[in-house]
Amino acid sequence: MKKNILITGGAGFIGSHVVRLFVNKYPDYNIYNLDKLTYAGNLANLSDIEARPNYTFVKADICDLETMKEVIAENNITGIIHLAAESHVDRSIKDPLVFAQANVMGTLSLLQAAKEVWNGDYSDKIFYHISTDEVYGTLDFDGTFFTEDTKYDPHSPYSASKASSDHFVRAYHDTYGLPVIVTNCSNNYGPYQFPEKLIPLFINNIRHQKPLPVYGKGENVRDWLYVVDHARAIDVIFHRGKNGDTYNIGGFNEWKNIDLIKVIIKTVDKLLGNPEGTSESLITYVTDRAGHDLRYAIDSTKLKNELGWEPSLQFEEGIEKTVKWYLENQEWLDNVTSGEYENYYRKMYNQK
């Protein structure tokens, strides 16, 4: 069946993988990638599919309600996959208002646009909102996991903004009947991630023999999910998920930060031909992040049992693929860290 799919934030890290998957897997779908092209949005992430006939890029801000209504109406959008968000916790601590605007008001604008344009005709329509496990707060080292029934307990401005957006999505379902799905995912890693995030930052710093800043003692635990597996999960849930339901997406792959960092060091040194342990001296312990959650761990059992999805890669395999990609794509990494990609796309879209 012909579908016109709007993917917001499609020039970002996770979004670009979702766009690529849908463009390649569903040639009969029209895929519209809507992105504001803030610092983390980079169309070079999609250079391999930008000429495909079923792909269209739309430069716009999700906070602009009138433009959102025009995009949905003019392109007869039947499904929205909403990934556009500010997502870096440290940035949210420094500037929480930006996160409230983008994550809360941006989601609300998109919901309202969908409601008004679809106007009660919800057959074959879906608003799919991608969120984070950080809305659940923190776990102890007691073997428990976040489930779809875990009470929300956000601790940072970022997670609070995502929790609020999740509530608005569910409120539009309950109040107006808007067909929605919400997913909460664990930490993603893989190609095209903006190098302010831990894994690409540390790969790049090891390349240049720069310090590797570790919060506190590095004992915080995260569940890591390969981004291509996340895109696969989004595909399955978009097509087969239950209207009004929530699904957790995790990697069943917990690592203490310091142990993860040592794996990255070992892998990068090996691929660069350095003697094992060469870059461990770069580890630098820094003051812990304010409100730093101790442990995240997602239980994806519901997704596996109901829709048949599970991660395809073990972490060691995924991290080696990831490190190889960054080392083989140093021009992309250098352009992002230098800001050259922003200058290129500003000129392309006549930005001041």
Q: Which residues are marked as active site? A: 133-134, 158
In angstroms, the CA 318 to CA 86 distance is: 25
In angstroms, the CA 162 to CA 1 distance is: 32
Q: What is the per-residue DSSP string for 131-196?
A: EEGGGG----SSS--B-TTPPP---SHHHHHHHHHHHHHHHHHHHH---EEEEEE-EEESTT--TT
In angstroms, the CA 192 to CA 227 distance is: 10
Closest CA to 162 of 248, 87, 237: 87
In angstroms, the CA 227 to CA 14 distance is: 6
Distance, CA of 333 to chain centre = 18
In angstroms, the CA 93 to CA 288 distance is: 13
Beta strand pairing call for 221-226 and 254-256: antiparallel
In angstroms, the CA 349 to CA 273 distance is: 41
Q: What's the DSSP call for residue 350?
A: T
